[in-house]
Amino acid sequence: MTTMTPLSELTGDYSLEAAGTTLAFIARHTMGSRVPGHFDEFDGSAHFDGDDPAKSSVRLTVKAASIHTGNHRRDDHLRTAFLDVEGHPVITFVSTAVRHAGGTRFEVTGDLSIRGVTKPVRVPVELVDARPGTDGLRTGFTGGVSLNRHHWGVNENFATRLMVGSKVTLRLTVAASRPVR
């Protein structure tokens, strides 16, 4: 962490800062290549309790149609065949538990909903920055998790199941701020 702010001083309600946040993923294609991408539109909030991190919570909503891989044709295909953005316009994550894993590390468990299917996931995160800003306290977290996309019904057909790897790795860089108290 850039500054050594005690966790208790970080207690409060935070809003996600889109400009400093990246929700990225990488999926494997059977031809050996890896396809990176990210989501451009999302919103989130968190409550952090530095004295008792178990009382903390996180909520994230991602506009599924904002998927971006750098290939317009592939993005359109992902929006329709894989994510069904017409029927399921958002991807959500709502925490059910937060555990302090020591130092600046935490484990956030929650319900991830994609395509109308909700499954529990556990995301290890690390607080990498906390500093006062001109309008409040700014924090930064990083984290990631690997998911099997088939558990959420994110697949097109049998041929696609064979061509695109089932594992998708999510990488998060999150900036959040809270107003001055």
Residue 135 and residue 84: Cα distance in Å, rounded? 39
Q: Which CATH number fits domain 7-179: 2.40.128.110, 3.10.520.10, 3.40.50.300, 1.10.10.10?
A: 2.40.128.110
Burial state string for 132-165 with b = 16 or more CB within 10 A and e = fewer than 16: eeeeebbbbbebebebebeebebeeeeeeeeebb
- The model's pTM is 0.90
| 59-102 pLDDT tens trace | 999 999 999 999 999 899 889 888 899 999 999 999 999 999 99
pLDDT > 50? residue 1: no
Domain ranges, ordered by start, for the chain: 7-179
> What is the C-alpha to C-alpha distance for residues 154 and 167, in angstroms, rounded to an integer?
11
Cβ atoms 2, 157 nearer than 8 A: no
Distinct helix (H) and strand (E) counts, the chain = 2, 11
- 122-142 per-position pLDDT tens digit: 999 999 999 887 788 999 999
The H or E element containing residue 54 is: none
pLDDT of res. 133: 78
175 vs 139: CA distance, rounded Å: 6
- Quick one: tokens of 99? 């555990």
